[in-house]
Structure 1
Amino acid sequence: MNYSVISGDIVSSTSLSIPDQKFVEEKLKILISDLKHEFNVYGRIIKGDYLECVVPNATEGLQVALAIKSFVKAIYIDAKKYTKEDNRVKQFKIHGIRLAIGYGQLSRYNPEEGVIDGEAIYLSGREISGESTYNKERIVIKNTLFFASKNEDLNKNFQTLLALLDVLFSKATARQCEVLYLKLMNNQEDEIAKQLNIGQSAVNQHSTSVGWNAIDEAVNYFKMVISK
């Protein structure tokens, strides 16, 4: 049985103030609870700024990853508390989190005991720790979405797709990301309007502006390819 395992690293987390770091960690706990409820995901937070999530239905891997991405980008951090020279906080607001989807088997998986071991988590962890795309000292961020499997054709298949999604998400506002998150969590627009206390037309406008149709097609394409 194959799984999608997602490893995530909060961008520039150490540049946030201690209260903001704790605030982000508390938000991540809410996220993990939501993902458990909607997708039966087992998730855990390591050292406050690193996520590991097992998606039992591997076809939902990209949907869950993008839900995580949009949730983190929607977290409100008051940039006014930081100096203009502190570019790292700006990077957090632009990118939020770096995510890698590892696709493969797990030799050991026991959510009750917190045990995750095997190919899929090794692949996602190795991809997220690579230094070629992220240098903490120079603040160079080229990509924040990755896919890794033993199938090189599959890896190439998703490389361009994730790069394009990266561009869409980097330009998305916090409000757009709120809408994206709720859509990726399978909520209808009228439900989202009620939750955010805005009109349904505003929900539709945010969705259109951020490129929801393309994101939805990408999620469905991922499901189709992985299910084969």
Structure 2
Amino acid sequence: MLIIAHYKLIALYCMSTPVSNAQYAVLTGDIVNSSKLNVTERETLLRSLTSLFDKDQEGSENDLKLKVTFEIYRGDSFQSLLDIPQQALRIALIIRTYLQSQVSIDDRLIASDARIAIGIGSVDSVTATLAESNGEAFRFSGRLLDTLKKEPNQIAIKSRQQTLDDELNTALVLLEGIIGKWTALQAEVVYYKLQNHTEVHIAELLKVKQPAINQRAKAASWVAIERLLIRFQDLLTP
């Protein structure tokens, strides 16, 4: 899989660990319409999502070459902690495109999706479980998720800067209009492009010709998504 080696995320510790006043990103999310899945589908989906960010107690590199803190809690919810907040939107989109295109049972796609609230702020402490950790980024993310069901977008951001939030959340509403038109095949291509795979490599992985990948990327408005990722990163860079 594609290397994103410079995305370093905070590892968990058995005891509460004080964290500096730096800015972090907390992603809190839940699976959309998970109650419509049967038990086998739900268990497969959650197990597969966990394996995307597989870790041990000290944190380990997953297929994406990320060290990631990621947990499932309350059955169909999840949380992740990043010490490089500029990459929060990319990670959120990787999760959503993975759910839309990569989970299957006996070659039958279990197409799902997620709401994801991104909180940007300080972190006071990290404990053995993210659910028990605390700090500004955790509070922003948790409270924001509670309001997302009423919003047109399924990714949103909350930080200390209202003008930043206003710009990005407006862009995220527009992004939702793009995501809502994706097919599973288009989401699959975006999933790999988010990891910087070339179209030639994606074609090899999916066993199709490169022009088909290019066509799916264009239909998914990949250029617009890429521009938004750059803008997101620029705005969150001190």
State the TM-score, normalized to the length of structure 2. 0.79
**Residues 1:103 and 2:124 are matched in the alignment:** no
Q: Structure 1 residues 194, 73: CA separation in 2 closer, same or farther (over 3 Å shift)?
A: same
How far apart, CA to CA, are the structure 2 residues paired with 1:102 and 1:197?
38
- Shift of the alpha carbon at 1:195? 1.5
Root-mean-square deviation (CA, aligned residues, Å) is 2.3
- Shift of the alpha carbon at 1:54? 1.0
Report Cα offsets for 1:102-137 as digits up to 9, x if no partner.
111111135xx334321111111111112xx527xx
- Shift of the alpha carbon at 1:71? 0.9
Report if aligned partners of 2:71, 2:80 keep a CA contact under 8 Å in 1: yes
The aligned counterpart of 2:197 is 187
- Shift of the alpha carbon at 1:14? 1.4
Q: Structure 2 unaligned runs (5+)?
A: 1-21, 55-60
Report Cα offsets for 1:33-73 as digits up to 9, x if no partner.
38674333211111331110112211111111111111111
Report if aligned partners of 1:21, 1:48 keep a CA contact under 8 Å in 2: no
State the TM-score, normalized to the length of structure 1. 0.83
DSSP 3-state at the match of 1:129? helix
How far apart, CA to CA, are the structure 1 residues paired with 2:121 and 2:184?
33
Q: Structure 1 unaligned runs (5+)?
A: 82-91, 136-140
How far apart, CA to CA, are the structure 1 residues paired with 2:154 and 2:113?
9
Identity over the aligned pairs, expressed in percent?
A: 28
1:145-160 mapped onto 2 (5 Å cutoff):
145-160=155-170
- Shift of the alpha carbon at 1:199? 1.5
Report if aligned partners of 2:48, 2:103 keep a CA contact under 8 Å in 1: no
1:127-166 mapped onto 2 (5 Å cutoff):
127-130=144-147, 133-134=148-149, 142-166=152-176
The aligned counterpart of 2:185 is 175
Report if aligned partners of 2:192, 2:202 keep a CA contact under 8 Å in 1: yes
1:43-58 mapped onto 2 (5 Å cutoff):
43-58=70-85
How far apart, CA to CA, are the structure 1 residues paired with 2:66 and 2:224?
22
**Residues 1:62 and 2:72 are matched in the alignment:** no
The aligned counterpart of 1:22 is 43
Please state which structure has a larger fraction of its residues in helix. Answer: 1
How far apart, CA to CA, are the structure 2 residues paired with 1:222 and 1:36?
24
Q: How many residues align?
A: 206
DSSP 3-state at the match of 1:38? coil
